[in-house]
């Protein structure tokens, strides 16, 4: 076995911006390159993260870990991939060396002796039967990761089973090889949580119908497996059809918090701290982003999503608009499953029990976040919009033939919570 590298090169939008230096079995530290530092330090598009501002000094391991650990899978998915790669689960540096060719956003992390993967970039088309095999194998091969050095090398945070792919202009799916940017995900139904793909598909459709900017999703049946197709909002396509990475980071990364701190109860982000972060961004969209975030939080609450934590909201570094709130993603009604905690990942006005959240809670949230006393009226108006969108999407699901007991259960949750707020209870 080759000895582990001592350093990794870090690229942003294909350009080298710094390096990671290994300082221990599970410790490493980041430093920007001289060329990166000589750029415009006031330009937020030049930084790797809001928590890693451009500076000459090397960042300490405790400062470096939140952003880079946030690029890696979590929980059982991380443990399975680490075992497949012959690494300790705690060895984030080693996992970045193995998987960093295609991360969330426009970051790539590669061993220093492999400065470019461009010569090996390719996509291998998949038949529907092969897609089915890969989807069924996800518990053993999370993300579709291949231990072969020339195979699939990619990383994406989160704990849910997902297959990371390229969708070709023909509509075919393909596996990205040699560091080719992926542009979509497939999430199959889950054995433990009935109707999970339908659940997310319905919630995402309601969110979009109600006026939230949301990632594009679609329910598909592939080789007899129902799954949710989701386009990556951190990817775009240029004039010649090349997939281009857009930089992004989740709120934990931006706030310098480890993935283990994604819940407010674990010293993670609160609604107020995310709003404060959005207000610190030098963006002409500042007011729009704050409103969009509050709408997203309310939409998730009404649909029963108690798992809307700090890693489920992100900043998108968009060349066209600058730093802005990313489209909504990963909206799932957890309230319809009895064995999931009902506690909100981010409390509303200090209350994390959704059954106790009323207009007074939203009023307190308005006071603690600087949104003011008009927030309750906004909540009532927006609750009516989300409720109406839920009813429309419920009828659409029935007419289009993908209704499921879980969609009616989600609608019941929304009706109860929305009417409670609309009636001022």
β-pair type (27-32, 15-24): antiparallel
Structure tokens at 373: 């006393």
Strand partners, 15: 12
Alpha helices (H) along 30-74: 34-37, 61-69
For 226, what's the count of Cα atoms within 13 Å in the CB-facing half-sphere? 16
Closest CA to 226 of 269, 182, 193: 193
Closest CA to 215 of 139, 316, 135: 316
How buried is 322 (Cβ within 10 angstroms: 0-12 exposed, 13-18 middle, 19+ buried)? middle
**CB distance 83 to 135 below 8 Å:** no
**CA dist list (Å): 417 to 59, 199, 267, 330:** 45, 18, 27, 20
Strand partners, 218: 229
Closest CA to 301 of 259, 275, 335: 335
Supply the residues annotated as catalytic: 307
């Amino acid at each position: 076995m080759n000895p582990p590298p001592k350093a990794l090169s870090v690229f942003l939008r294909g350009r080298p911006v710094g390096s990671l230096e290994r300082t221990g079995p599970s410790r490493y530290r980041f430093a920007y390159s001289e060329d990166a530092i000589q750029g415009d330090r006031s330009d937020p598009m030049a930084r790797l993260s809001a928590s890693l501002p451009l500076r000459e000094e090397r960042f300490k391991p405790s400062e470096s870990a939140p952003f880079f650990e946030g690029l890696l899978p979590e929980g059982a998915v991380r443990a399975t991939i680490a075992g497949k790669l012959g690494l300790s689960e705690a060895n984030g540096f080693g996992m970045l060396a193995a998987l960093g060719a295609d991360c969330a956003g426009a970051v790539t992390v590669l061993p220093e002796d492999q400065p470019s993967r461009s010569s090996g970039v390719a996509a291998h088309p998949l038949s529907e039967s092969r897609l089915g095999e890969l989807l069924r194998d996800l518990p053993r091969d999370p993300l579709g990761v291949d231990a072969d050095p020339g195979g699939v090398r990619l990383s994406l945070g989160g704990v849910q089973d997902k297959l990371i792919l390229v969708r070709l202009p023909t509509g075919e799916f393909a596996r990205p090889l040699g560091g080719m940017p992926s542009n979509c995900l497939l999430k199959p139904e889950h054995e433990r949580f009935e109707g999970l793909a339908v659940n997310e598909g319905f919630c995402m459709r309601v969110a979009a119908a109600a006026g939230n900017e949301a990632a594009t999703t679609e329910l598909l049946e592939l080789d007899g497996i129902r799954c949710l197709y989701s386009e990556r909002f951190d990817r775009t396509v240029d004039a010649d059809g090349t997939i281009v990475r857009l930089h992004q980071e989740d709120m934990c990364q931006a706030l310098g918090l480890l993935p283990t701190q994604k819940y407010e109860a674990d010293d993670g982000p609160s609604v107020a701290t995310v709003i404060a972060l959005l207000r610190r961004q030098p963006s002409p969209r500042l007011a729009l982003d704050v409103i969009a975030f509050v709408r997203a939080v309310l939409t998730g609450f009404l649909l029963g999503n108690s798992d809307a934590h700090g890693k489920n909201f992100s900043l998108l570094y968009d060349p066209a608009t600058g730093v802005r709130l990313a489209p909504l993603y990963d909206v799932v009604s957890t309230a319809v499953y009895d064995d999931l905690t009902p506690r909100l990942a981010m409390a509303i006005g200090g209350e994390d029990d959704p059954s106790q959240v009323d207009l007074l809670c939203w009023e307190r949230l308005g006071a603690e976040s600087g949104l003011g006393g008009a927030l309750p009226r906004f909540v009532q108006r927006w609750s009516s919009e989300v409720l109406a969108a839920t009813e429309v999407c419920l009828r659409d699901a029935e007419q289009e033939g993908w209704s499921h007991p879980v969609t009616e259960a989600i609608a019941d949750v929304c009706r109860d919570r929305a009417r409670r707020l609309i009636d001022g209870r």
